Structure formats: C-alpha cells, structure tokens
Amino acid sequence: MTVLEPIIEFLQGYCRKKITLGQLLSGVERPRKPILRVMDRLVKEGNLEEIEDNKIAPVFGECGRNRRNPTWLIIEKPLMDEFVPRPSRTTLRDKMWRLIRSRRRFSKRDLMRFTGCKEGSATDYTKLLEHYGYIRTTGKDGHLKVYMLIKDPGPKRPVTPEVKKRNVK
C-alpha cells in the first residue's frame, strides 16, 4: 500500500478547509517525509494550496536544518481514480525488440534463449517484422535462419498490425 492512498482517504473524510502536517501525521500514521512529498504533489496538481510554512527548530540531540511544518488549504478533494498509477507492461515482443536492436544479427534460438519466449512467438514476430521490412534473412547458421535488423525506428517496438493468414483451400 502506498502513502498516497491513506492520505487521499483521510482528505476525503476531512470536514474542515485547513489541515496541518500534525493533523495528517496523527490521522494517517505514516512517516513525515513521504507525506510531505505527496502533499507537495497535490499542491502542484491544484487540489491544495500551501498557506503557511512554519519552521520547527531541531530539539536537543537532533542535528540538521529546521523542519517544515506547513498548513494547507483544501481547494478540492482529490479523487482516488486520478492517482492510481498504471503499471507499464513489458511484453514478450518488447523484450524481443530490445534484443533485436542490441544484437542486430540474431536467430530465433537467440530470441527464445534470451527472452524466454516460445518458438511460435519468435516465429510469428520475426515473420511480422520481415513482412513490414524491419528485418531480413541474411543467411543460415547450421539449420537456423539468421536475421538482420535493417530499419530501426527507435527503442520502442514498431506498432505493426497483424498479418492475416489467407485460407487456401
């Protein structure tokens, strides 16, 4: 669970317009530094406005600079749906594309060995890239075809629609 979720839940249930760091620390029960980072993010996105920032001197035995003790004005309650991070998926094709770009010359066995894909996936992807002109066959290594990258559009794999197989009767 991240620090963001309990803070947003606390702010949605909070009935006053002003909130201090002390109130947040007691209500959320999370470390001070991550709470400050999340609140700065909410200020940046326009949900909060920082009204004042009192500095607290370190107590005896502590060292370092004065600590922040801000007070915020709640402009609008943040919605949890906006803040759910979308995980970026790394697909097998992304892994295969990275390998193709790094090696320049490769075989299907290389794709299977270094990315962990099955032979069918490697065959389909090499046929697709060959059809759209990104790779070509350059020779053989034993009984395996060796492919070479000839068109490199960049680090992100090329978006290629699937080639439809013709039904021959």
Amino acid at 96: M
- Global pTM? 0.48
Do 52 and 78 form a contact (C-beta atoms < 8 A)? no
Q: How far is CA 69 from the centre of its chain?
A: 31
CA distance 152 to 139: 20
pLDDT the model gives residue 125: 94
pLDDT the model gives residue 151: 92
Handedness of CA 97, 99, 101, 103 (dihedral sign): negative
pLDDT the model gives residue 38: 87
pLDDT the model gives residue 81: 58
Local mean pLDDT, 10-residue blocks, the chain (169 residues): 77 82 86 88 86 85 84 78 64 92 94 93 94 93 92 88 62
Q: Which domains occur in the chain, in start order?
A: 4-83 (1.10.10), 92-149 (1.10.10.10)
